[in-house]
Structure 1
């Protein structure tokens, strides 16, 4: 079974305008409300690709109920911890000449709620896959990723971590099955700007030396790389297409990788499926479907 954890889910209110003027009334020409959060996106794309998962995390209030309703509409299972106060955050994403985001804060997560999530995670079994994705709200301890991975250590669970900077660095001693920084995040971890593929590979290897088993690096229009635990390096150019919406593309890459690995047991096939699925989401208003991912996969293998 596949499980995803989103600590701070949100309803994303997405609007498009011809132009945006601060301090004035602006009229939108397109709007959409989507349940969001990195783990939630992974669960939705997995379902689109034909793989069942269970979305875990914390929800509250009317926005939390809408996130669950939307997940159910995609056919996704969820088992969130429901918080008694507050409401899950609302993130406003304004797309005009440039993209502007206003992200909500989210509800208070009590120690009792944290214990309830741990109890759910304790039910995972050998062979399961767990995706830990996204930022940690300020009402949770900043070592929550390490606590979870330490709790599950040695139980044969493949843990995928999609996080940034120190949050990712701190989990490496627990030997995650897969991590997915982009090339800019990889450089930020070491305080450098990576300009060549050779530099990217060298720094990804450093993450492996620190504990990561497989390192998947997204590079936007420059494609992606995968460094596997046996020392193999796979590279792929980005499929050809028009960028429509970058939100969720990285999450879709993670979902595609998991799908490919579940279906073939091959890290190489998982890599190409990840690249295809991430690109399929980037080329669409919505998250990738199986047909869209398979069509792009045929162009890059």
Structure 2
């Protein structure tokens, strides 16, 4: 049996902080040939949206996505739950409802207990059961670091697909979860996260974004995406660029998980927040004298983060009530 270990010590990064920095990803994809033309492909790679969407008929479109990462917590069952919640989020962010999933598994089998791998898979399966979908298969490899996630498939009416590129002038923004998951994950690795912070982190990252499927039926919800590894600023920039808009955030109104601001002010941050800012900071104007903690939280990689909605102002209160 392998010697005792912390799950997070088996990986160089964790959660959505593992994502390639936006600038690196843009550089890699700049030479990738465009897909198409395919008449049935409703959403592809053109606006960095959350999932691909393929029209099946006049009443159904298939939503397809995959997401996986390395451990963000040490409890294997909780890690599996977080990873599965995060993967299903991309289906909900397009307005879809998941129908089934496939597991993506890479484990250093010579360094991990079999029981821990089983718990990771069980955690993912428990979240899929909550979402009402089966894990119908998957693929596994022996890898240098533990990796888990899902291929998630869903269905949506073609008229209810919610892209990240359809925001309109005058819309209000709603974020359905507080920021700070990346800061919490860094504090956890540094043994600086207390039980209250850990509970807030797990509670947020294992809360399904299932409300996205209901919000797609609201015409006043014009655009939708989920906030993950590029942070709030990075994913909002994708909305702005895709929609040809600009956006203004009020820091006082930006939701944060309890305790996140205090940790950020104490200098707790992830390497990914710095890489995010370096990738897109030139497109952002912060207030003069803005503290580092503000920038770090706005760029903080959100593992299984909330939905970011662009909503007609007259419907914002009703939509917010529905989210709550």
* Larger RCO (CA within 8 A; separation ≥ 6): 2
**TM-score normalised over the length of structure 1:** 0.31
**More strand, by proportion:** 1
**TM-score for both structures, normalised by structure 2:** 0.29
